[in-house]
Amino acid sequence: MKIGNYNIRVKISELSVGEFEDCYTIMNNPDLTPVEKYLDVITYLIKADGGDTSIVDEMSDDDFFKIIKAFTKTKSTPSFKNKINIDGVDYFAYPNGEKFVLKARDLATIEKIFMNEKNFYSHLLAVLFKNGDENHYEPNNIKSRADKFRSLNAADYFKYIIIVSDKVKVKIQSLYDEPTK
């Protein structure tokens, strides 16, 4: 999207999984003010596109707030692909023709990742997408797949983040709702 003199990627479909994770890390940095966070994200994206980051210092407040608005208001429709193909290898979250089922063992691994890992999106995909490897859950194997998955389009698999988050929320709520023995 062109805003003023700036070409900025504002849609999730314009980002890779890795870029999304890096932007997310910046936006959740408790040491930055809200304005600093957005400035750092803009700088990051311009740099990723090979642009001159010094132009950020000269940005007018008008353009700055237009960009923030574009980040927050631009709608994307996350897709829900069941397959990842990387380096000639196919990984599936669920078989073709069937529905996605979040498995307990996957969620246990995802919870561990969530506690320790800032690159949550790529690691979540590394857990959910399998290729029949019997050592699928080995931490080193998860990390290796996650590193590869950072190059994927962020919108193509974002619905998995939503589904997992919703399941976790429902799970926690059910603990409060159920009468105790």
Partner 1 sequence: MMNLPNNWGEISYEQYKELNEIKNLELSFTQLYIEVLSLLWDISPNDEVFDMDIDEFMDYTKKVEWVLREPVITKTYSQWNGFTLKNLNKLTLGEFIDIENKINDLDNNLDWLAAITYKKIKIDEWGNTINEPYIYELDHRISLFKEAPIPLLLYIKKEYLQWRGTFMDNYKELFDNGQPKDTDDLDDEELVGAEVKLSKINNKKEQIMVKWSWENLLWGLSGEDIIKIKDIFNLNVIYVFNMLSMKKSLT
Which residues, other chains included, contact 170 with Cβ-Cβ below 8 Å and sequence gap of 6+?
none
Check: CB of residue 147 under 8 Å from CB of residue 17.
no
Among 12, 2, 149, 157, CA closest to 79: 157
C-beta closer to partner 1: residue 72 or 135: 135
Cα 95 off chain centre by: 23
C-beta closer to partner 1: residue 58 or 101: 101
C-beta closer to partner 1: residue 43 or 109: 109
C-beta closer to partner 1: residue 77 or 140: 140
One character per residue 115-134, x = contact with partner 1 (rule: CB under 8 A): x-------------------
One character per residue 83-112, x = contact with partner 1 (rule: CB under 8 A): ------------------xxxxx-xx--xx
Q: Which of 50, 96, 175, 176 binds partner 1 (CB under 8 A)?
A: 175
Phi, psi of 6 (to 5 degrees): -115, 135
Strand partners for 90: 85
Distance CA 16, CA 3 (A): 21
Instruction: Summarize as ranges the residues that interact with partner 1 (CB under 8 A).
Output: 101-105, 107-108, 111-112, 114-115, 167, 171-172, 174-175, 178, 180-181
